[in-house]
Chain A
Amino acid sequence: MNKALLAALLAVTATPAWAQQAQTPEQRLDALDKRITRLEDMNAVERVQRAYGYFVDKGQWTQLSELFADDATLEIGGRGIFVGRKRVLEYMHGAFGPDGPKEGLLAQHMQFQPIVDISPDGRTAWVRSRAFVMSVGGWGLPLYEDEFSKEGGVWKFKRESGPFTMYTSWKGWGHDALNNTWPDKFDPPPDLPPSTVYLTYPAYWIVPFHYPNPVTGKPFPVEPVGAYHRPPGTPEQAAARQVGKLADGTQQIAEPPGN
């Protein structure tokens, strides 16, 4: 997001008192309408993100795909980018099978901790949130930085991006940590390569924040930060960032395990 937009986000409720007094009742009501609409929009966007989670839990891929705009994109883990609602559905059906939960399968994607922002024009929204995955395969932590658009009064996914923080078997992340996924790990193949290549736990990647620090107002550095289990700014982290870097500055994914 550009700086002007960030500033506009911060300024959205900052109409000074003198300006309110100079306004007609209709203008003041228009301003009030806008503030109420923003609150309603935030709830509506959270609702779409949460509905997505409930559909994942029960394998409702058709319903899930209908949460996406026609030209929306989907990028989960390191699988690459799928373009368009139809491809979202192909991805889900191809990777996870037909609609409906299956006996002996659990893939709970519990959704929480959303940070929602609405653009000043009320047409675009962003969410940073996360899922805690409790599944037959073990544990997982995707993070979301998603974009939504309002079409015909309805909020839809415009971009779902769910990079992984950590995946592990039931033995836990102290015992083994699974690699990130990659474009040819399973079918179907993506339309576009991954937007960035990063490592999952025990390495980490700080997904750029769509919103500024809410207290200082400073935008979060958008430079991708990759590291090996050391905080940003430490010598170990600086050294780790020089290892296996690609030309675009991101880090190289580990070799897929032979299986």
Chain B
Amino acid sequence: MKRAWLAFAALAIAVPAHAQSVEQRIAAYRHRVALLEDQDAIENLQATYGYYFDKGLWDQAADLFAADGSFEYGQRGVYIGVPHIRRAMLLFGPQGLAAGHLNNHMQLQAVITVADDGLSARARWQGMIMLAEPGQNGVWGVGVYENEYVKQNGVWKIAKLHFYVTAETDYDLGWTKSAIPMDGPSALFPPDRPPSEVYRAFPGAYIPPFDYKNPVTGRSLADIPEPADDVVGRK
């Protein structure tokens, strides 16, 4: 084995990967490492958002956003700026999780694309939801995050959080018997902007737009056709 490894190492060195100076190579590798670190930082940032949101830690969750960041959940509309985001989250319940509530928003399946300048990024996440409150049956849900991030003074922040809730159902009944519609914009604290996209959750069929390219073909996924929806009026 050792011999095989040495042979391989020798082979790797024998291939002239670069006709660059040592300094140029160090600069290039520092850049690549920085992008890897950025990706990890964004992964931790979004996971942290999830842990805060689960427990109704709205103050802490809102602090993860850039000063001009935006927050959009389902069809509730867009809230802009940290103070508005903090108040919008109070529509989900009081600061700190209320007794008997479950507000789990699991953050899975990150596809993170960091811009080459290392100052902005986009990511798609799978959002799994488990909800409960006293006197009501539990709720299962699922959706997709398509988010944007910005690095300010070396710190990654959420620039845009858009959670496309795509399906919610009663814990016992399931999808064949129960489809819970999304909440619309609040009358108590209206959003700064209406929903950026009007769509219907399950049983409607809708594809939250992909920010990333097909990782093998490199082709954009922006032109994937949306299925027709008579209710929304999408042909």
Q: Is B214 an interface residue (CB 8 A)?
A: yes
Q: Is A241 an interface residue (CB 8 A)?
A: no
Q: Is A27 an interface residue (CB 8 A)?
A: yes
Q: Are B108 and A58 in contact (CB under 8 A)?
A: no
Number of interface residues of A (CB under 8 A): 53
Q: Which of A29, A36, A111, A135 contacts B36 (CB 8 A)?
A: A36
A171 to B60, CA, bound (A): 38
Chain A, 129-184, CB within 8 A of any chain B CB? 132, 134-136, 138, 154-156, 170
Q: Which of A27, A53, A154 contacts B216 (CB 8 A)?
A: A154
Q: Is the interface of B mostly helix, strand, loop or mixed?
A: mixed
Chain B, 201-218, CB within 8 A of any chain A CB? 202-207, 210, 212, 214-218
Chain B hits for A60, CB < 8 A: 224
Q: Are A29 and B29 in contact (CB under 8 A)?
A: yes
Q: Which of B29, B110, B210 contacts A36 (CB 8 A)?
A: B29
Q: Are A54 and B210 in contact (CB under 8 A)?
A: yes
Q: Is B150 an interface residue (CB 8 A)?
A: no
Chain B hits for A26, CB < 8 A: 22
Q: Are A8 and B111 in contact (CB under 8 A)?
A: no
Q: Are A51 and B29 in contact (CB under 8 A)?
A: no
A111 with B126, Cβ < 8 A, contacts A43-B36, A50-B111, A51-B214 known:
yes
Q: Is A63 an interface residue (CB 8 A)?
A: yes
Q: Are A112 and B174 in contact (CB under 8 A)?
A: no
Chain B hits for A43, CB < 8 A: 36, 39
Chain B hits for A53, CB < 8 A: 109, 126
A32 with B216, Cβ < 8 A, contacts A4-B1, A47-B111, A104-B203 known:
no
Q: Are B22 and A29 in contact (CB under 8 A)?
A: yes
Minimal Cβ-Cβ distance residue in A for B167: A106
Q: Is A39 an interface residue (CB 8 A)?
A: yes
Q: Is A189 an interface residue (CB 8 A)?
A: no
New contact pairs (16) apart from A121-B8, A170-B173, CB-CB < 8 Å: A4-B4, A8-B4, A8-B5, A40-B32, A47-B111, A50-B109, A54-B126, A105-B205, A106-B167, A108-B126, A110-B126, A132-B128, A134-B140, A136-B175, A154-B216, A156-B216
Interface on A for B, CB 8 Å cutoff? 4, 7-8, 11-12, 15, 25-27, 29-34, 36, 39-40, 43-44, 47-48, 50-51, 53-54, 58, 60, 63, 66-67, 100-106, 108, 110-112, 120-121, 132, 134-136, 138, 154-156, 170
Sort A-B residue pairs by CB-CB distance and give the 7 closest, nearest first.
Answer: A170-B174, A101-B205, A104-B203, A7-B1, A136-B175, A111-B109, A50-B109
